[in-house]
Amino acid sequence: MSGLGVTSRSLRVEIERQSFHAQHEDWFPGMAAGLSAPRRFRLRRPIVEQLGESGVLGLLKEEFTMKIAALLVVAGLAAAANAGVHTGAGFAIPDGDAAGITSVIAVAGDTDFPITSVVVSLQGFAHTWIGDLSGTLTSPNGTVHTLFGRPGRVANVGFGDSSNVDGIYTFADTGADFWAAAASVADAAVVPAGTYRTSSEGSAAFTSLDAAFAGQNGNGNWTLTMNDRAFGDTGAITGWELRIIPAPGALALLGLGGLVAGRRNRR
């Protein structure tokens, strides 16, 4: 419990930097991804009054991810631990059906800010021919971004990559090449679960998940759509997770600009 303390004016947590975003370097000077250190956040009263403690914690958790979640659970704040991470239902993917299937996450409350980054995780994602499948994310304002589009089907010709998927596959701008990962394993072997960049149908070229939704407001219905456009091989997901990360301007309202002063490194 020593790592977390919350009052109306400050919040002290031990944070672990999950990934390196150059635009956030001033928040974590000299702190590489994977390192952890205690930090004190000065909360500005209007934000606390508007969002409540759980909302503030949710906002911070969206930026600092798993280490914060662990601390919140340790502190017995299980409800707050779930704030800001949005989960959607799974589904079986209809075989050979271009219309596909959708799952909607209704986001409200603690994400009323401009977006700077979006991360999507497909949980329990299993299928025996990844080249059959496309997946898209649609934001509340109607922007559609392809997460992956029939990997291995170059220029939209052929059956695509014959690899399987089985596990948690996360799509983010900091990930690896999904098409290359699929190509690197044998026919019917499993593409390693992990974090991958997004790409459109017909090409392995990376696209930007963050750029697609940057500046939009997170509130509203987010839709995951998946379709399987070749008969024979089938699959499903057991659920999905949407992580929306606010623009630096939103976190600046929490006083993060001054968080470095007065910190103590107890390690």
C-alpha distances in angstroms, 175 versus 12, 179, 193? 30, 12, 11
Instruction: Please report how close the Cβ of residue 185 comes to Ca ion at its closest, in angstroms.
Output: 19
Of 63 and 233, which CB lies nearer to Ca ion in the complex structure?
233
Three-state DSSP at 225 gives strand
Give the residue carrying structure tokens 């989960």: 87
Alpha carbon distance 124, 92 (integer Å)? 11
Give the residue carrying structure tokens 């008969």: 231
Of 77 and 190, which CB lies nearer to Ca ion in the complex structure?
190
Asked if 61 contacts 81 with a C-beta cutoff of 8 angstroms, the reply is: yes
Of 128 and 208, which CB lies nearer to Ca ion in the complex structure?
128
Alpha carbon distance 61, 4 (integer Å)? 13
Strands 97-107 and 220-228: antiparallel
Of 173 and 228, which CB lies nearer to Ca ion in the complex structure?
228
Q: Enumerate residues 98-137 that contact Ca ion by CB under 5 A.
A: 132
Of 232 and 262, which CB lies nearer to Ca ion in the complex structure?
232
Of 54 and 164, which CB lies nearer to Ca ion in the complex structure?
164
Instruction: Please report how close the Cβ of residue 94 comes to Ca ion at its closest, in angstroms.
Output: 9
Instruction: Please report how close the Cβ of residue 95 comes to Ca ion at its closest, in angstroms.
Output: 5
Closest to 254 measured CA to CA, from 3, 59, 13:
59
Q: Enumerate residues 140-169 that contact Ca ion by CB under 5 A.
A: none
> Of 21, 233, 237, 243, which lies in the binding site for Ca ion, with binding defined by CB under 5 A?
233
- Neighbouring residues of 82: CB distance < 8 A, sequence distance ≥ 6: none
The piece of 58-66, 181-189, 198-206, 227-235 that touches Ca ion (CB under 5 A) is: 227-235
Asked if 113 contacts 250 with a C-beta cutoff of 8 angstroms, the reply is: yes
Q: Which residue has the CB atom at the shortest distance from Ca ion?
A: 132
Contact flag: residue 228 with Ca ion (CB under 5 A): yes
User: With contacts defined by CB under 5 A, how many residues of the chain interact with Ca ion?
Assistant: 5
User: Which stretches of the chain bind Ca ion, using CB under 5 A?
Assistant: 95, 132, 228, 230, 233
